Amino acid sequence: SNGTTNDAISDRNNFSTVSSRIKLLLGVCALAPFTLFSISRSVALSDGYTAPLKLYTHLYYHIIRHDEEYEGVSTREKSDSEGKSKLVCIGGEWYRFPSSFHLPKDYELAFLKSSFGGQLPQQFTKFDSKEESLSVQNGKFNDLNEEEHDRYVSISQCSYLIDLVDSNDEKDEAVDSPLEISQYIGDDDKDWELVAQYRFLDAENTSTIQRVLFLPFKRNVAHKSY
């Protein structure tokens, strides 16, 4: 009697163990596709669209090295002597600017006229985001999102210029700037030089599946240069 009871208990335990393992296996099989899909999607976003963050990070440290190490003068001393901030200019890519924290002290973001025809943001006042800034209005605003031309600067005022350009994927080199930016540079007396560029996914020339998922063994995407 005791032997039969022990055998029955042992059989139940074995069955319970096997059942638990089967449930675990089924759970893994059910979750694995969603896990792989999520990882592939995250990698695709990181691979294709993080160029702006990388570029502004690179620019931040480049400016610091250039202004402080190579010239031996701090940005604060130079800004005080000149009486104004230096400008990092963008055209149609204004909406991908991450935040003012990505610019060194005494540098400001400025806008060049581009194909965008709506109302652009304005610089913070001397009060930054404090309550006192609500009583100060240096520029024009409207509630129709219509373009205000006081937002724009001349390219001759810019120290750096950022934009998204077409590139040659074989050489991974920028080969063609947007027409409006090319005209700006052509009209300016400065000798512009490339500081940095990063690959940015060209959505128009990349298939939907390649945009959505990162397929390491069948990666076929087009890029622009940021």
Amino acid at 136: V
Based on its alpha-carbon atoms, the radius of gyration of the chain, rounded to whole angstroms, reads 28
pLDDT in tens, 174-205: 444 455 566 666 566 667 888 888 999 998 88
pLDDT for the residue 147 = 83
Residue 153: both structure tokens together = 């600067």
Handedness of CA 122, 48, 61, 171 (dihedral sign): negative
Residue 9 has pLDDT above 80, yes or no: no
Q: Can you give the pTM of this predicted structure? A: 0.72
Mean pLDDT for 55-81 is 68
Q: Cβ neighbours of residue 91 under 8 Å, at least 6 residues apart?
A: 111, 112, 113, 114, 116, 163, 178, 180, 181, 184
| Angle, alpha carbons 50-44-202 (nearest 5°) | 70
Residue 142 has pLDDT above 70, yes or no: yes
CA atoms within 13 A on the CB side of 108: 17
Residue 136 has pLDDT above 60, yes or no: yes
Residue 158 has pLDDT above 70, yes or no: yes
Residues across the chain: 226
pLDDT for the residue 2 = 47
pLDDT in tens, 42-61: 999 999 999 999 999 999 98
Mean pLDDT for 58-72 is 75
Q: pLDDT > 90: what percent of the chain? A: 12
If one compares 155 and 4, the residue with the highest pLDDT of the two is: 155
Location of structure tokens 């540079």: 185
Quote the CA–CA distance of 170 and 148 in Å, as a whole number: 41
Quote the CA–CA distance of 87 and 99 in Å, as a whole number: 14
Residue 142: both structure tokens together = 């409207």
pLDDT in tens, 97-133: 988 888 888 888 999 888 888 888 877 766 666 666 6
